[in-house]
Amino acid sequence: MKALFLLLLVTSFSFTFAQNIGDYRSNGTGNWSASGSWEVYNGSAWATATSAPTSASTASPVVNVSTGSFSATATNNSYSLTLAPNVNTVKAGDLLIVFWSDHQKNNRNVTIPSGWTSIYNDAYHVNHSAVAFYKVAVGGETAVTFIANDIDNQAVYVVYRINSGSYNGLPIGNYEDLGNNVANPPLLDASALASGTKLWIAASHSHGLSGTDLTSVPSGFSNNYNITQGQTFRTASKLDAASSLDPGAFTGSTHIGAGTVALSMVSKAKVSILNSHVITVTANATANDVVVETGGTLTVNSTFNLDIASAKSLSVSGTIKLPGTSYIAGSGNLSLNTDATIEIGSADGISSGTSTGNIRISGTRTFGTLNSGAVNYVFNAASNQSIGNGMPIKAKSLTISGSGIKTFLNDNLDITGNLTINSSNSMVIPSSKEYSAGNLYFGSTIQLISYWAGTLAPGPFSGSTSPFTYYKAPSNYKAYKSANFGITTTGILLVGAAALPVTLSNFTAKQTTDNNVSLAWVTSSESVNKGFSIERQEEGSGKFQSLGFIASKAEGGNSQTTLAYSFKDMTAKKGTNMYRLVQEDLDGTKTYSEVRIVKLNNQSVSMVFPNPSNGAVNISRTADGKKMNVQVIDQSGKIIRQLSNITDANYKLNIQKSGVYTIKMTYPETGEQSIQRIVVQK
């Protein structure tokens, strides 16, 4: 049997994203497609979502447009503009952009209303106003009122309302009115905006009295709005990731000016499922980055799928459940992080391809940190189930549930934690393959025994636990049980300490005050352990010799608790001594520890204790009869006490005052010297 003393180091890994405008998080247990299941981040706080996470690669703006016109001649007249259609409500965080165009008899004058910010405010021939201004809504606004001077029967407006979950930052713009027939909105440099997709709005103003002279919008622009009242005003928009853009020309005649406005849009929202929340996908859905935090659960109901977009990730630190034929797909990535749990319900299990099984995602698949086997797997199909050829060869735990026979395809499988085979299930290991697990459970009963599914040996295994019967294999110390394994099983399962019989958490060797060597070691787990031989190799000998044997303290050689052992070598020789432990299984298999080295010089060894002390100080030394002189020196270097010719193995002295003292011990016959410091606290 191959066995090693084991020291475990557990490393955790988490997959994190920055928080952005438009990010979603769960606000309880609910349905993926229900807006009530989510909150959305508006840049400063989390607010109740008005829709479920969108499926486009960019969060497409929900743009509601209100339009209108006025005919008036009064000077400094007050105008009220509707901010959204009656069927829509302006919500906190919505972005409102107003475009206004008029013709005025005398000097133009439009006052930007209080609480709004100008994008551009321009004129042509001193009597035409072209204005754009914006505001981030506080919620509930229905209209905006402002002053425009002496309008000559020609005033039109368009209001854009853009939902809070789709934009990232505030708009900028540019306007051109250098002469008649300005049909092309100006080039706008938007490099100051956040990188990524932007909403571009092109606007054109015409003095055509027919109201119909703007006949089409620039190429690639759509969602155009054509408003007339003596003059014509048209806007159109497009999504584009360019850092600068010249929209191109509107077609028509008698143009008097054109403007360009740009606004950064957020990439489609990250979706987070928080601790203790369960979100269920009950219809086919697509998403970008999805994070299932520790304690959270994402369930994709049977027959449905969740697609992850290209270059995006589904990152799971909690639980993901894929019952029946539901699956994860798309060209994005799947990351099952340390301690995550995945439940597999497909009869095809986890396949390596993209056409079968519960995982069909075509991007990178990561199972635990660096595929280290830190993920928990549950296979729970209600019938016979293949584990699939896409499961990694390492796992933290594996649970066989549902019903039927679960057939494994992996050449190897290493389960560091528990293998649980529930009732009504059987497990089939590939022929001639060797699997391993930390613990083996049949239902709720733990069996710290190994399993071997080959030809039965004639004699029962003495470590059997009722009501199960085990048999010793011909050459290895493994056990057989047919009830919870498939009848075609011919592989081997090594459980727990069969592969790692003893976990040695500490082993020390130290010189004692009487020039002997004290050995001590601690085990955190043992299985089928007979005990430990202590071996020593003296300097120059070239070989280890046995000093003795310490039987296992574990009942039956099996333990999952901390056990401490010690041994004293009374025959250690001067010079270098090397020590090792030889752990022996009940079947005679041996495993060797690391070597510890102790160098003995046979000098007198002195110890001063306790430290700190209340003034009563003990000096313990080798009982060799040599005379010892003692000096007690204070912090200033003054010798406050001096003793000579002490031969006692244990000597007591008393220091009267608190302080830090140096105890200097010398042996005049040999020239040996020992110095120790001690703290006295009265």
pLDDT in tens, 279-295: 999 999 888 889 999 99
Locate 123 and state its tokens.
């004129």
| Per-residue model confidence (pLDDT) at position 290 | 94
Alpha helices in 472-585 (DSSP H): none
445-460 in b/e form (b: 16+ CB < 10 A) is: eebbbbbbbbeeeeee
Asked whether the CA dihedral 184, 190, 193, 198 is positive or negative, the reply is positive
Which of 466, 469, 459, 443 minimizes the C-alpha distance to 451? 469
Count of CB atoms situated within 10 Å of the CB of 639: 11
Which of 273, 275, 333 minimizes the C-alpha distance to 299? 273
Sheet holding 385-386, edge to edge: 385-386, 404-407, 425-428
List, for the chain, all residue ranges whose pLDDT scores fall below the cut of 50. 1-17, 55-60, 87, 211, 370-371, 448-483, 487-490, 496-500
Q: Are 529 and 539 in contact (CB under 8 A)?
A: no
Distance (Å, whole) CA 327 – CA 303: 8
Contacts of residue 96, Cβ cutoff 8 Å, sequence gap at least 6: 83, 90, 134, 135, 136, 137, 141, 144, 159, 160, 161, 162
| Per-residue model confidence (pLDDT) at position 252 | 73
pTM over 0.85: no
Distance (Å, whole) CA 608 – CA 632: 12
| Per-residue model confidence (pLDDT) at position 322 | 97
In sequence order, what E strands does 313-460 have?
Answer: 313-316, 319-322, 327-329, 333-336, 341-344, 365-367, 376-379, 385-386, 394-395, 397-400, 404-407, 413-421, 425-428, 434-442, 445-447, 451-452
Count of CB atoms situated within 10 Å of the CB of 165: 28
| Per-residue model confidence (pLDDT) at position 499 | 39
Q: Are 326 and 345 in contact (CB under 8 A)?
A: yes
CA 372 → CA 4, 369, 393, distances in Å? 19, 5, 9
496 Rama sector, left if φ>0, alpha if ψ -120 to 50, beta otherwise: left
Contacts of residue 543, Cβ cutoff 8 Å, sequence gap at least 6: 537
Contacts of residue 175, Cβ cutoff 8 Å, sequence gap at least 6: 120, 122, 130, 132, 186, 257, 258, 259, 260
Work out the end-to-end distance of the chain between its first and last CA atoms, rounded to an integer number of angstroms: 60
| Per-residue model confidence (pLDDT) at position 28 | 95
| Per-residue model confidence (pLDDT) at position 2 | 28
| Per-residue model confidence (pLDDT) at position 410 | 77
Asked whether the CA dihedral 495, 499, 505, 511 is positive or negative, the reply is positive
Amino acid at 596: R
| Per-residue model confidence (pLDDT) at position 619 | 85
pLDDT digits (tens, 9 = 90+) for 390-411: 988 888 889 999 988 888 887 7
Q: Which domains does the chain have, with CATH numbers?
A: 63-264 (no CATH), 393-498 (no CATH), 502-600 (2.60.40.10), 606-680 (2.60.40.3080)
